[in-house]
Structure formats: structure tokens, C-alpha cells
Amino acid sequence: MRIGLVSDTHGDPVAWRKCMEHLKGCQLILHAGDHLYNGAFNPVLPEYDPREMARELNECPVPILHARGNCDSEVDQAALRDPILSPYVVCWLEGVRVMLTHGDAIGEVELAEMAAGYGVDLLVRGHTHVPGLWEHGPLLVCNPGSPSLPKGDGVPTVGLLEEGWVRVLDIRDGSVLVERELTGR
């Protein structure tokens, strides 16, 4: 199964389209929050178009599971077909137990321990806009970064779960920035 991992699109349909170029063939997308609103602390990008972003999400041919981000609200939910206001989503995908959350509500260690308590293999979280993959015991944690408002090195990114590997890709050229194998399966 090929699963897209996205977070922090912040109303940028141009960045979303770039993500989708690299997520062709995905059977599912997991979106870790901050869907439409740019947020009070982020710049308003020239590509910022929450109405168009909502249309793109609503018309996406790939099913999407969503977690609520700190910039997501009931107004955003009114614009979107799928439910986006759950702080946590736990799902079982071809033998891999995945927990999806934005990651802003509790600390990094507490969040990883919560996921480990659920027997999760992969925790997908966002919020920081900084991509990365790291281990917390047998748990693999993935932050796919942000395709629209990247922080850290400024590279716009998206994640991919495929055949037991988690990768973070540069959406500009599809190059793999970091990858790890899921070993807790």
C-alpha cells in the first residue's frame, strides 16, 4: 500500500498540487492538520487561497484521513467534506498501526509515549513545519514537514509510506531527504 503523509498545507493549493505529483498511486493520504488557514504567525503567501485549497481537498480522488491542527476551526470544517476536527486518528494499514495527530497539544516525549501505549508502529505528526524521522523505542515518528511554509532548512516536503519504508521527499524534485524502515512490524 502506498500512503501519502502531509501536514501544514495552510491554504496553499499550489503546494498541494506539487505534493500530489509525488503521491500518484497512493491509496490513502494522512493529513496531520493545518489545512486551510495560514495562521496568525505565518506570512500570507501569494499562493494562499483557502477556498481553492478546500475545493482541491474536497475533490481529491484519493481518500484522506485528517487530524485537527491548531489553525483548523469549525469554519474550516464547514468548507470541507471530510471530518478534520479529531485531534487523533488511529488506523491499521496493512499490518502497520498508525497514529495521526498535529502534535501541538502535548510535548514530544508525552506524545510518543501515548502512541507507544496504543501499540502504534508509526506516529505521523506535524505542527513544527520541520521534516524528520526519528525513533522512540520501537515507534517510528514522522513529521512530513510543510509543503507551503517550510521551516528549518526551508525545503518544502511531503511524506510517503510504502512497502515498510517511510520517506520524506522534497516536493520540488521528488528527491528523498530522509528515509527509515519500519522495524516494529
CATH code, domain carrying 19: 3.60.21.10
- Report the 10 Å Cβ neighbour count for 22: 20
pLDDT for 184 equals 59
pLDDT for 62 equals 98
For the chain, the domain total comes to: 1
Please, are residues 156 and 171 in contact by the beta-carbon 8 Å criterion? yes
pTM summary value: 0.97
- Report the 10 Å Cβ neighbour count for 182: 19
Q: CA nearest 123: which of 184, 39, 57, 35?
A: 184
Domain that holds residue 68: 2-181
Residue pLDDT tens, the chain, 185 long: 999 999 999 999 999 999 999 999 999 999 999 999 999 999 999 999 999 999 999 999 999 999 999 999 999 999 999 999 999 999 999 899 999 999 999 999 999 999 999 999 999 999 999 999 999 989 999 999 999 999 999 999 999 999 999 999 999 999 999 999 998 55
pLDDT for 112 equals 93
CA 171 to chain centre: 13
Amino acid identity, residue 43?
A: P
